[in-house]
Amino acid sequence: MFPVILLIAATGIAFGPLLGPVYAMAGCLASASTGFAIGRWMGLRRITQLGGERMTRVTGTLKRNGTLAVFLVRKIPAPFTLVNIVVGASMIRFRDFIIGTVLGMGAFVVGLAGFGYQATNALRDPSPGRLIGAALFVVVPLTIAVLINRTFSRVRPAE
């Protein structure tokens, strides 16, 4: 239940720009899988009782669209654990959940873990090169994520 953003940045600080994103993604997948299992255990009926009609529509959309739906859900700023529980209850396949999570969070994890590492280096040695490196670790992956998101929003039909 700890904010995943802080954990990803801390992992980048602790393990550097190469292993940091790998470990951060492994941690995200472990946490996501736990939430998914809780949602599967709770079941769709309990989740829809708690969330009402809107939750019924969300879980139906998730099940119909699989990997793409999980990818898009990862672009929405929502509580990580809650999203994992809802997706688990939606009866989506675990494989689709994992693939969608990796694709949806990949650029974010690389950017944030790299930024955490570069930011600590910039604080130790605030040279222009270090500051530019820290900025690039955020700007490049997030720009790619925005471009992918725009592409998918044009492709998906409006409701």
3-state DSSP of 11-35: HHHHHHHHHHHHHHHHHHHHHHHHH
Between 121 and 10, the more confident residue is 10
Tokens encoding 76 = 């929405």
Residues 6+ apart with CB under 8 A from 121: 130, 133, 134
The pLDDT tens digits of the residues spanning 26-60 come to: 999 999 999 999 999 988 888 777 777 777 777 77
91: left (phi over 0), alpha (psi -120 to 50) or beta: left
Tokens encoding 101 = 């999570």
Quote the domain boundaries for residue 25. Answer: 4-155
The number of distinct structural domains making up the chain is: 1
DSSP calls for 93-122: -HHHHHHHHHHHHHHHHHHHHHHHHHHHHH
Task: Say if CB 134 and CB 118 are below 8 A apart.
Answer: yes
Q: What is the pTM of this model?
A: 0.73
